[in-house]
Amino acid sequence: MAQKSSKGRIFPLILAAILLVIDQITKAWVVKAIPLGTKAWSWGGDFFYLTHQRNTGVAFSVGDALPLPVRSVLFLAVPLLVLIVLGIFYWRDKSLHGIQRWALALILGGGTGNLIDRAFRPHGVVDFLSFKFYGLFGLERWPTFNIADSMVVVGVGLLILSFLVARKPK
């Protein structure tokens, strides 16, 4: 069922804003407490650890070798435009179902969190969560990530799920 009330539009944004604040607080803590390139705390041997890494690219460090002016346009201006368009769509489209609205709110919050890093942290987006991946897909460790990345991934997953569930069988 589509959410037409402003309450149905605001609650997902409130959660996204809270997670965005947590994302920024954890990144600030990592920058202050963990020297760049080092591990600080682990759990389960080396299954999980906190680390301080910087990513000047996007997911999986794609594009980190591009010249700074190109990265500035691709990874700052384009995401900003996408977030503005998604935000307008989020607020104006009254046909969005609950899960779709929650998904878009998570994508908006996570995208904003990483955009803040790209705009105000000259050495790149702060990543700090590292998990062992046991060689799956050829990866010994999953690429280091942050809370904003998690918000985007969960949001995209929920959006895909909403479309799969909404598809009507023939």
Q: Sheet with 48-55: list strands edge to edge.
A: 39-43, 48-55, 125-131
pTM of the model: 0.86
pLDDT at position 168: 63
Q: Find the catalytic residue in 23, 46, 117, 149.
A: 149
Q: Which amino acid is at 76?
A: L
Token pair of 93 as six digits:
């489209």
Alpha-carbon gap, residue 77 to 115, rounded angstroms = 9
Q: What is the pLDDT of residues 135-152, one digit of tens each?
A: 788 888 888 999 999 999
pLDDT at position 7: 74
Active-site residue 117, yes or no? no
Active-site residue 93, yes or no? no
Give the closest residue to 110 by CA, choosing from 148, 76, 83, 78. 148
- Segments in the chain below pLDDT 50: 1
Q: What is the pLDDT of residues 82-97, one digit of tens each?
A: 999 999 999 998 888 8
pLDDT at position 63: 67
How many other C-beta atoms lie within 10 A of the C-beta of residue 151? 26
pLDDT at position 18: 97
- Rounded to whole angstroms, the maximal C-alpha distance in the chain is 56
Alpha-carbon gap, residue 110 to 130, rounded angstroms = 18
pLDDT at position 124: 87
Can you give the residue ranges of every domain in the chain?
Answer: 6-166
